[in-house]
Amino acid sequence: SDFGIERWFQFNRDGSFIAVASRDDIQVWQVGGGLVYTSAYNRFYSTDAFIYGAEIPQLALSPDGSLLAVSGVDFGSASTKQYFEVIDILHNETVYSWNGRKDHLHGSLYSYPGLGFSDDGTIIQTFDPTYFSIEAGSAYQSFRFWKTGYWQELDRTTEEFSGYHAPSSLLFALQSDESVEIADRTNGQVLSK
């Protein structure tokens, strides 16, 4: 599979919660405490070599383990359908659900692991490949940042934005035939090659 082990599970920041995409459902466990959340999803293809792993939803847990972000593709219907939602695990309710509009919080996350929360859980990052262009120098614009609760996109150049992320969480790698570049997700600046 091209999708890697991180497609199957994600820990929250301190490792006290783990989100798992099992064969038929998404589970959140408190480490050492037991199952705290479960939700079914459609795994239509299980062994097809061309699609293997694509239907496994991408997961992210907020640092305190209270919010679960889920993004995936439903292959079970006549046409494929993307979905994205953020769930309050403790209250078992969806606090945000993507409505399909391009200007709302979502990105086609396949196959880049671009879903995640800021250090304090107030900002969520998505990845949208329609913004990705290495030639135009805009690959960094594929990473989009949204304020939880308001679900509005944030300007990544503001001071408010920069204070909520560990520096390493704002880096990404670009590989070419001859090099690997480490760039900044906020402005695209190449920091190392």
CA-CA distance, 35 to 28, in Å (whole number)?
6
Per-residue pLDDT tens digits for 88-121: 998 999 999 886 666 666 655 455 667 889 888 8
* Token pair 């064969």 in the structure block, residue: 23
pLDDT > 90: percent of the chain:
23
Which stretches in the chain have pLDDT values below 70? 1-7, 42-55, 75-80, 99-113, 160, 162-163
pLDDT for position 52 = 56
What tens digit of pLDDT does each residue of 81-92 get? Answer: 778 899 999 899
Q: Supply the mean pLDDT for the chain.
A: 80
Q: Identify the sign of the CA torsion 170, 98, 36, 6.
A: negative
Q: What is the DSSP letter of 144?
A: E
